[in-house]
Amino acid sequence: MQRYFVAPEQFGTDQVSIGGEDARHIAKVMRGKAGDKLIVSDGVSREALVEIALIEIGEVVVNILEPLEMTHEPRIKITVAQSLPKGDKLETVIQKCTEIGAVAFAPFLSERTIVQYDERKESKRLERWRKITKEAAEQAHRNIVPAVLSPLSWKQLLQSFSGYDAVYFCYEKEEGLQLRSAAAPWLSALPPESAGKVMIVVGPEGGFSPEECRAAEEAGAVSVGLGSRILRCETAGMVAAACILYESGEMGGA
C-alpha cells in the first residue's frame, strides 16, 4: 500500500490534507480515486490508514480510518557520518542506509575529502539529499524520515561525538578492535527498552590519516575495523549500520 509522509500540521483529527508533489503523484501516477486506501505518516508520532475523500488540483484530502502503530523503527538510533565522497555516492549511502534503518546522516569534510564543497550549492544539495531520504523511507515503510544535517567541518564533527552513546570510527588501518567486538558487549548491556544513540564515522575515498584517527579517539570515538577487506567509502557505512542492527536483533529474528 502506497505510503506518504506529510508535515505534522497537515494531520487533522479526522482528515489529512496531502499537497505538493505527493498530491500530484496520487492523482497522476497512482490515478487515485475516492475510496482508495493509503498510509500517511507525519514522520514523528502519527501514522494512519486513510481513504481518499477528495482529489483537487494540488490537494488530496483523505479521511483517517484508523491510527497505526509505528513499529518499523529500530531502537538503536544510528547516525551515519560520511566524509563527502565524489559524485553521487552520498546519495547511494543515504538511500541504502535509510532502507537499513539509519535515522540521520552527517556529511563532513576531512583531510582527504576530494570533492570541493561549494557552500553556494549547499541548499540545492541538501534538498536533493532530503528528497532521497523521504522517497527511500516511503519505499522502506519507515515510520520516520531520516534527517540530513548540513555538512560539518572536521572540528564540528569531533565536537558532535559527545551527543552519542557510542561513536564507531571506521578506520581501514585498524588491525585490533573490530566493530563486532566493540559493539556487541555494549548492545547486549543496553536495557531492552532503551534506545542507544550511535554514530558511525566513515572516511572518503582516500581514507583517514593516523592523525585523524588519534583526534577522533581523543574526542571519544572508538576506532574499529570492518574486517580484512577494504570496502568502498559508499559501502562501509551500510555494512556497519547493518551489522549493528543485526547484532541488536533489529534485522528480523530473535
Q: Which residues are near ligand SAM by CB under 6 A?
A: 170-172, 174, 202-203, 205-208, 225-227, 229-233, 236
Asked if 27 and 65 count as a contact pair (C-beta separation under 8 A), the reply is no
- The nearest distance, CB 181 to ligand SAM, in angstroms, is 13
CB-hemisphere CA count at 13 Å for 167? 22
Q: Coil, strand or helix: which one is 78?
A: strand
Shorter beta-carbon distance to ligand SAM: residue 63 or 178: 178
C-alpha cell at 224: 574499529
**3-state class percentages of the chain: helix first, strand second, coil last, to nearest 5:** 35, 25, 40
Residue nearest to ligand SAM (CB): 203
Q: Counting beta carbons within 10 angstroms of the beta carbon of residue 82, is it exposed (0 to 12), middle (13 to 18) or buried (19 or more)?
A: buried
- The nearest distance, CB 173 to ligand SAM, in angstroms, is 7
- The nearest distance, CB 169 to ligand SAM, in angstroms, is 8
Shorter beta-carbon distance to ligand SAM: residue 74 or 85: 85
Shorter beta-carbon distance to ligand SAM: residue 38 or 233: 233
CA distance 67 to 4: 14
- The nearest distance, CB 243 to ligand SAM, in angstroms, is 11
Distances (CA, A) of 136 to 4, 96, 107, 229: 11, 8, 18, 28
- The nearest distance, CB 83 to ligand SAM, in angstroms, is 7
Shorter beta-carbon distance to ligand SAM: residue 61 or 199: 199
CA distance 4 to 134: 9
Shorter beta-carbon distance to ligand SAM: residue 48 or 202: 202
- The nearest distance, CB 152 to ligand SAM, in angstroms, is 16
Shorter beta-carbon distance to ligand SAM: residue 42 or 174: 174
- The nearest distance, CB 236 to ligand SAM, in angstroms, is 4
Selection from 187, 190, 194, 191 nearest residue 244 by Cα: 187
Shorter beta-carbon distance to ligand SAM: residue 123 or 181: 181
CA distance 240 to 200: 7
Selection from 149, 160, 168 nearest residue 104 by Cα: 149
